[in-house]
C-alpha cells in the first residue's frame, strides 16, 4: 500500500548568514543537506522529516525548516 | 527574511528576529563555533519564560562569549573582563525587578573573574550566570584557560597543558550557588530546558555550557571540524544525570554530568537587604 502523500518540507537557507561550518550537513539524520562550495544547499528534499535538528544546531541563524 | 507558511498546522520555525538586533548579523563567531547554538537555546528559553525584552538585563565581560549581548535586543551591558558579576550585582540591587542574565566564558568567569564569580555565588543574589566553556581563550589567540584539559595543546602550552582543570559546577556549588547545571551545545533542546529552569530559579543559578572552539582548540588538537568536537566532548563526553544510575560504570567513567546537578533554597540577597532596610527604618 502506498504511503499517504506528505507535504514536502520548506527549507529556507539564508546564504548571506551561512558560514559553511557543515554542522547541519553532518548531523542531518536523513542526509538532506550537502555543502555547495562554502554554503549549505538542499540535495534531497524528499527525505526531509522536518525534525528541525539543522535549524536547532545552526549557529548562524541561517537555516529554517517548516 | 519573509517566510510564507503554507501549512498552518505544522510546527512553525521559531522567530529569533523578535529578540535579535538583525542589523548586527552575521555575528563575529567563527564557522562552527558553539556560541551561536547556545544563543539560540537561550533565546528560546527566554521566550518560554514569558519575560518581556524590557524585563531582562544581559551583562557580559570580555571574550567571544561576551559578544552575545551585542546581538540581542534586551537591556544589555558589555563590561570589563571578569567584572560582569560586579556590574550585574549593581544592576540587580538598583533594579531588583529586572531579570539579570550574565554571559561569561570559561576564562572570563573562572580565571580573571574567579573572585567575583565565587562571591556572587556566595551571596546568592538572584541572577542567572551562563558560563560558555570552550576550553580556551578564543578571542585573544588560543591561550590555555582553567578548563583546558590536561595534555591539551594551546598556543601557550605547545607541549601539552600540565595544569589540572577547574570544574565550574563543583566550584559554583561549593561557593554557595543554589542552582547548578551543565549543558552542551550538542544537546541544544535539553539546554533550552535547563536554562529555562535556571531563569525561573530564585537565587544565583549557574549553567556551565560545554561548546566548541574549532578555530583554536580544534585546530591545535587535531580535531578537524566542529562536528568532530561536538561528538567527542558533548555527545560522547557527557552523560545525563537522569541516566547515570542506569548505566554501567565503564560508560560513565571520565564523563561530565549533564543536567541539573544541584538545587536548594536559601535566602536571596536582595530580599535580605530589603529586610535590613525595613528593620533599620523601624528603629
Q: How confident is the model at residue B35 (pLDDT cuts 50, 70, 90)?
A: very high
Instruction: Output the average pLDDT for chain B.
Output: 90
Quote the pLDDT of residue A1. Answer: 52
Note whether B27 contacts A20, CB cutoff 8 Å: no
Whether residue A48 is predicted with pLDDT greater than 60 in this model: the reply is: yes
Distance CA A22, CA A62 (A): 12
Domain that holds residue A49: 11-65
Whether residue B7 is predicted with pLDDT greater than 80 in this model: the reply is: no
Note whether A26 contacts B35, CB cutoff 8 Å: no
For chain B, which residues lie within 8 Å of any Cβ of chain A, measuring from their own Cβ? 1, 3, 5-7, 10-14, 16, 20, 25-27, 29-37, 40, 185-186, 188-189, 214, 225-227, 230
Which of B2, B23, B37 to mutate: most A Cβ within 10 Å?
A: B37
Distance CA B86, CA B275 (A): 22
Determine the average pLDDT of the residues in B181-189: 93
Note whether B25 contacts A61, CB cutoff 8 Å: yes
Measured between beta carbons, the chain B residues lying within 8 angstroms of A26 are 225, 227
Evaluate whether residue A6 is within a structural domain. Answer: no
Quote the pLDDT of residue B39. Answer: 94
Residue A6, C-beta contacts closer than 8 angstroms, at least 6 positions apart: none
Evaluate whether residue A23 is within a structural domain. Answer: yes
Q: pLDDT, tens digit, for every residue of B93-109?
A: 999 999 999 999 999 99
Q: Which residue of A has its CA nearest to B44?
A: A56
Which CATH architecture describes the domain B27-282?
A: 3-Layer(aba) Sandwich (3.40)
Structural domain boundaries in chain B: 27-282
Question: CATH number for the domain including A43?
Answer: 3.30.70.20
Determine the average pLDDT of the residues in B195-215: 94
Per the structure, the count of domains in chain A is 1
Determine the average pLDDT of the residues in B220-239: 88
Determine the average pLDDT of the residues in B20-47: 92
- Interface pTM, i.e. ipTM: 0.89
Count each helix (H run) and each strand (E run) in chain B, helices first: 10, 10
Cβ neighbours of B239 (radius 10 Å): 18
Phi-psi region of B89 (alpha: psi -120 to 50; beta: other; left: phi over 0): alpha
Evaluate whether residue A5 is within a structural domain. Answer: no
Cell of residue A21, nine digits: 561550518
The DSSP string of A21-49 is --HHHHH-TT--EEEETTEEEES-GGG--
Q: 3-state DSSP call for residue A61?
A: coil
Evaluate whether residue A1 is within a structural domain. Answer: no
Evaluate whether residue A4 is within a structural domain. Answer: no
Amino acid at each position: 500500500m502506498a504511503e499517504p502523500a506528505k507535504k514536502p518540507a520548506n527549507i529556507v537557507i539564508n546564504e548571506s548568514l551561512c558560514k559553511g561550518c557543515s554542522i547541519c550537513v553532518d548531523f542531518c539524520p536523513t542526509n538532506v543537506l550537502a555543502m555547495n562550495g562554502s554554503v549549505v544547499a538542499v540535495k534531497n528534499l524528499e527525505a526531509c522529516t522536518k525534525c528541525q535538528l539543522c535549524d536547532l544546531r545552526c549557529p548562524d541563524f541561517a537555516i529554517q525548516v517548516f | 527574511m519573509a517566510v510564507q507558511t503554507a501549512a498552518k498546522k505544522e510546527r512553525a520555525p521559531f522567530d529569533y528576529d523578535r529578540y535579535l538586533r538583525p542589523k548586527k548579523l552575521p555575528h563575529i563567531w567563527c564557522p562552527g563555533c558553539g556560541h551561536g547554538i547556545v544563543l539560540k537555546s537561550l533565546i528560546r528559553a527566554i521566550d518560554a519564560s514569558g519575560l518581556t525584552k524590557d524585563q531582562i538585563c544581559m551583562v557580559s565581560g570580555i571574550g567571544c562569549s561576551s559578544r552575545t549581548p551585542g546581538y540581542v535586543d534586551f537591556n544589555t551591558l558589555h563590561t570589563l573582563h571578569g567584572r560582569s558579576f560586579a556590574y550585574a550585582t549593581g544592576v540587580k540591587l538598583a533594579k531588583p525587578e529586572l531579570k539579570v542574565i550574565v554571559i561569561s566564558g570559561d576564562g572570563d568567569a573562572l580565571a580573571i573573574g574567579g573572585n567575583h564569580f565565587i562571591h556572587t555565588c556566595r551571596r546568592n543574589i538572584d541572577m542567572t550566570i551562563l558560563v560558555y566553556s570552550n576550553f580556551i581563550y578564543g578571542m585573544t589567540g588560543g591561550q590555555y584557560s582553567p578548563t583546558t584539559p590536561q595534555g591539551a595543546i594551546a598556543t601557550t602550552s605547545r607541549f601539552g597543558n600540565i595544569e589540572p582543570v577547574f570544574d565550574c559546577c563543583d566550584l559554583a556549588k561549593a561557593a554557595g550557588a543554589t542552582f547548578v547545571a551543565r549543558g552542551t551545545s550538542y544537546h541544544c533542546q535539553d539546554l533550552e530546558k535547563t536554562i529555562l529552569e535556571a531563569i525561573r530559579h530564585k537565587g544565583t543559578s549557574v549553567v556551565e555550557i560545554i561548546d566548541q572552539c574549532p578555530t583554536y582548540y580544534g585546530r591545535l588538537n587535531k580535531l578537524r571540524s566542529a562536528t568532530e568536537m561536538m561528538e567527542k566532548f558533548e555527545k560522547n563526553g557527557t552523560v545525563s544525570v537522569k541516566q547515570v544510575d542506569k548505566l554501567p560504570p565503564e560508560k560513565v567513567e571520565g564523563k561530565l554530568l549533564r543536567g541539573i546537578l544541584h538545587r536548594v533554597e536559601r535566602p536571596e540577597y536582595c530580599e535580605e537587604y530589603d529586610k535590613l532596610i525595613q528593620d533599620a527604618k523601624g528603629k
